[in-house]
A and B are shown apart, each in its own frame.
Chain A
Amino acid sequence: MAFELEKWYNKNKNENTLLSYMGKISEKEVNQILDNIDDVLSKKEEKRKVIKKIYNVAIETLQNLYHHADISTDKHINTEIPKNNIAFLLEHLKDEKYLIITGNFIRKTNTRLLKERIDQLNFLSKEEVKSLYRLILNNEEFSNKGGGGLGIIDLIKRTGNNIGYDFYYFNKDYIFFSLRIAI
Chain B
Amino acid sequence: MESIKIEKTRKTPDVIFNAETGVIQIEGKSIPENSIEFYKPLVDWLDEYGKNPKEKTEVNIKLEYFNTSSSKCILDVFKKLETIHKENENVIINWHYEEDDEDMLEAGEDYQSILKIPFNMIEMEE
Q: A residues near B, CB below 8 A?
A: 27, 30-31, 48-49, 52-53, 55-56, 59-60, 63, 66-67, 130, 133-134, 137-138, 142, 145-148, 150-151, 154, 158
Q: Closest residue of chain B to A48, judged by CB?
A: B126
For A60, the chain B residues whose CB sits under 8 A away are: 67-68
Q: Closest residue of chain B to A49, judged by CB?
A: B100
The reply to whether B33 and A150 contact each other, CB–CB distance below 8 Å, is no
The reply to whether A59 and B103 contact each other, CB–CB distance below 8 Å, is no
B15 within 8 A of A: no
Q: Closest residue of chain A to B102, judged by CB?
A: A49
Per a CB cutoff under 8 Å, which of A137, A145, A146 touches B110? A137
Q: Tally A-B pairs: CB < 8 A.
A: 64
Q: B residues near A, CB below 8 A?
A: 10-11, 31, 33-36, 64-65, 67-69, 71-72, 75, 98, 100-101, 103, 106, 110, 113-114, 126
Give A148 Cβ to nearest chain B Cβ, in Å: 5
For B36, the chain A residues whose CB sits under 8 A away are: 142, 146
The reply to whether B65 and A150 contact each other, CB–CB distance below 8 Å, is no
| From B36, B72, B100, B103, residue with most partner A Cβ within 10 Å | B72
The reply to whether A52 and B65 contact each other, CB–CB distance below 8 Å, is yes
A147 and B68 CA atoms in complex are apart in Å by 6
